[in-house]
Structures are given as structure tokens and as C-alpha cells.
Structure 1
Amino acid sequence: MELFADRAEAGALLAERLPEVRDPVVLALPRGGVAVAVPVVRRIGGELEVLVTRKIGYPPAPELGVGAIAEGGEPVFDLTMLDRLGLTPEAVADVVERERRELARRVETYRGGRPLPPLAGREVIVVDDGLATGVTARAALRAVAAARPARVTLAVPVGAQDTVRMMRSEADEVVVLLTPADFRAVGQWYAHFDQLTDEDVLDLLDRR
């Protein structure tokens, strides 16, 4: 199975598979989702914005996600992972509060603190660079759903098969280009998968 050269190529290919909708709101999940979403908007049009999300990490090993939170939404937890670790949502309340503060900082950084555009009654496309556990995408989709859009599409270049199946109950449509059986991490399906900075995100938004 071929790799995407980078997120820009993946976004251009993804745009070809998206349904035609009129004046969508394209919400990119930073940071990597922004690099995918820019070529999507260039091809299909619409309004591009950043929907800020944050992973909720396991305190002794923060890189291990046990949940996620999106602006405007409540924390969403991977209950299987919490159970495996012997944790409850209350046990990571301090982590949630810390991530809320970082989420607010990023909203200020990426959008100058301005609110998201109104989503009620509109076509919304949520874009990320891939789906591993899906907990971040789930948090984003639930926050979007609370704003009562007409329809929500989740669009990603690559995702784990089980996660993609789960996401079909969270969005009206899921568009994904690759669902490899040997999926281990999002980055393995990109030839170039650099970690992006806040400055990279701002530069992408300026050049959209």
C-alpha cells in the first residue's frame, strides 16, 4: 500500500473523494489536520477554521491518551483504556483542567480568541490527518453535533479499521482513503510526517 508523500498530498486526494456540498464549514483539528484541510478547501471551497482539541493523557505517561476534549464540548474518555489502567474520569480531573487552559491558549493563538463560525443548519466537514484511537475525533464530532449542524462529515486520509467503524456512529458520513489492516500509527502512512508547530499552523492559515 502506497504512502502519502505528505499531508498536502493527502488533503488533495481526500478532496477528490468528498461529496459536493454548498458552502461548507471545514473544521481542521490542529495541528496536523490543518495541513490536510488547506488543500481540501482550495478544491471544494467553503470556510476554513481550526477546531481546537486536546488529548487527555495518562498522568504517569502523558503520551498515552485516555481521552480528549474539544472546545465547546465536554471531555470524552476511552473507557476501555481507563478501566485497563484502573482509573476513573475523576482521577484525571487535574489533567482535564490543565488541558482546558492549553486549549484556551491555542484558541487565542490560532483565532485571536474569536468564536467559531455559527454551525447550526450548515454542512460541516471535520478534517484530521488520521485516526488512531479516534478519541480526539470523537470529542470534536460531539462538540460539533451540539451546535446542531445540518450534516457532519469526518474526513481523514488514513485510519485504523476498527476506529473508522466506530466513527460511523458519530458522523453522518466518514470519508477515509486508507484503512490498512496493519495500521500501527498515523505517521507510518506518510513519507514525510513532520511535527508541526503553532507557527506552522498560522503560516498554513495565512496561505490558504
Structure 2
Amino acid sequence: MALVQLDLPEPMSLRGRWAALAAVQAAAGHGERCRALWPLWHYDDGHGSWADLHHLDDGRAVLLGQDRNDSETYYAEASDFFEEKETDLLAGAPEWWEPPVRRVRDAELFLGFVYGFDGSAWYRADYELDDGFTSLGLPVLAATLTRGKIVATVQRLPDSEGGRPAYEAIDELIAAAGEADAGLVAAVAPSAGWDAEAGAAAARAFLTA
């Protein structure tokens, strides 16, 4: 069965935005929601929807996850649990997609989508259902989405008083591509509830490759 090609950014082009978001989440005390544990980059929205990017050899990668509300694809155990028809998310996929999928299944998590990057392009299995990827709204896919998520995180701080961080400070943190120090993180939200050192450490974790 032929795979469907996707229009998504190359994996390493996401590092600056993913690292910036991880820095802000960690500084705000939610480091578990966005982090790098090489070769894995993780994101979740705090409400049960998530995505993991697994970096593999030769520039390949697997991006997989689930939107807990809008994924209409049910793979493996999820099909039995929800008593829904199974969507084979690995139909036609090469064998190297399977280890990250196995890791998720071993963790007893359900999958809505599995995308593979072969070093030049992204692909998924051929199905018509909504797999939840779009509704998940992975913030790191675009600078505007990343900025919006960072602003929302800062505005939820107890002493933020609804203030918005300057986009210039956010863009500098993104441009650092993981090479962040506490000063860059502090500039985004100089707040009493803000741990800039933790944020910088979270960003630098994305430099391992």
C-alpha cells in the first residue's frame, strides 16, 4: 500500500521553536509538558493530547501522538478499548517506523497518528479519517503558533497581571535554537514565579544530537 506524502517541516528545523517552548514551560513550572530527552522531543497540552518526535539514524524521524478529543483513528489496543474499527497506522510503512510505536504501546498509550520522515520528506499511511494531528495544533510547526503558546503560558503565571511578553524577546529565544542562557529566558517574563535557570537548562537539552 502506498504512503501519503505530507507537507511538514524537516525535524531539525523545529529545534529553535521546540526549545523555546520547552524553556518557557520549564520556567513556568511545567517542564514535563515540553522537553528533550534525546533522541526524543516531547510535547503535550496538559489535557491529555500529545506528540513525540523520535530522531533516528541517517536523518530519519518518527512523529507520533494523539489528540484525545479529535483523533478518529484507532490503532491496535485502542480499537479494542473503544470498540471501533482499527486504522492501521503502519500500513505500507518501513520497519524503522515500528520501534517508536512499540515504545508507546509498551507505555499503554493510544495512538492517533504516526508519521515518518525518511531524510527528505514526511509520509503517513493512507486513510481518510481525521487522525487528530491538525486539531492537536503542535505549536512548534510555525513561529506564530509557538509565540501564541508562549504568550498564553506567561499570561497564566500567578503574578503576570495579564501582561504580554515582547515578541522580540520570544523571537530571540527561538533564534537561539537551544543555545539559551538565563538572561534570554528571563527577558520573556521577568516574573517572581519564573525560573529562568530551569528554562535555559530545558532549552539546552535540545542541543544533544
Both structures adopt the same fold (TM-score exceeding 0.5): no
Q: Between the two structures, name the one with larger relative contact order (CA 8 Å, sep ≥ 6).
A: 2
Which has more strand, going by share of residues?
A: 1
TM-score bracket, shorter-length normalisation? 0.3 to 0.5
Could you state the TM-score of these two structures normalised by the residue count of structure 2?
0.32
TM-score (norm 1): 0.32
